[in-house]
Every structure is written in structure tokens, then in C-alpha cells.
Amino acid sequence: MKIDKKTRMTRQRRVILEEIRRYNNHPAADEIYERVRKRLPRISLGTVYRNLDVLCELGEIQRLELSGAMKRYDGNAKKHYHIRCIGCGRVDDAPIAPMNELEDDLYGTTVFEIIGHNLEFTGLCPECSRKHEQQQAAS
């Protein structure tokens, strides 16, 4: 999809963007749709998907394609990493700075044009960790 930087910020796009940024829980498209419908009852799921694509292309949000999980969206469009719970799928921001030097190290050592990288941490969120410990203690 080719988006012109002059693309208007329509009311629908603005509401979608506001709902993504309201919470820092990296929602999936269907969660965004449910939130937006409370404010714009006549909006369709297809419209939400199209506008999510536009907002990604405009650099307003990020599309997260994490392993083992559905696509999620992040209202913070700056480069950063994420932690995904392998128990429940919860996604949080990882509190470390992007490692841009990795890309710099690859520059000139490969025939690829390096345009970015993805780094995903996995683990158990506090709730899933407690459940796991309880299951271990019970067995």
C-alpha cells in the first residue's frame, strides 16, 4: 500500500489512533474494533483494518508480528523491543534501548540492504508465573 504523506487524518483514523494509544497493552485488531465501536457504532471491521494499515504506513503506529501470536498494534511508533508471555500472550514493552549497532555491524558484511531488525523476548508474565509455580507445587 502506497500512502501519500498528505493523507488526511479522518475522524475514524483519529479515533482508532486514540484508542490504541489510550492503553499500553498492544491490542489486536479485533480489540481495537470493539473499543472504536463504542465511539463509532457504525464502523466496520474492514474499515478498522484498512485504517490500521494507513496509520502504520504514516508511521503513527507499529504493527507487531510476534512469533506465535496474532498481529498486534503499538501506539508507540519509535523503535523498541517487546516481551511476550508464552502463557497468556500478554505483550509489554522491553525496557532496553534499541541495539542499532547490530545493524551497523552487518552493514558492509552482507549483500543485504539492512532496513531494520526485530528482537522479541519471551517469558512468563507475573500472573502466569504464579500459576506455573502453583502447578509445580501441586505436583
Tens of pLDDT along 62-101? Answer: 999 887 667 899 999 998 999 999 999 899 999 988 887 8
Give the span between the Cα atoms of 10 and 75, in whole angstroms. Answer: 17
Does the annotation flag 128 for ligand binding?
yes
CB atoms within 10 A of CB 34: 14
> Mean per-residue pLDDT for 26-45?
96
Q: Round to whole Å and give the CA distance between 88 and 86.
A: 6
CATH topology of domain 79-139: Dna Ligase; domain 1 (3.30.1490)
Cβ(52)–Cβ(60) below 8 Å: no
pLDDT of residue 46: 96
Strand 72-74 to 82-85 pairing? unpaired
Tell me where in the chain the CATH 1.10.10.10 domain(s) lie. Answer: 1-77
CA atoms within 13 A on the CB side of 8: 3
Architecture in CATH of 1-77: Orthogonal Bundle (1.10)
**Residue 56, annotated as binding a ligand:** no
Q: Is the pTM of this model over 0.95?
A: no
Residue found by looking up cell 480489540 in the block: 31
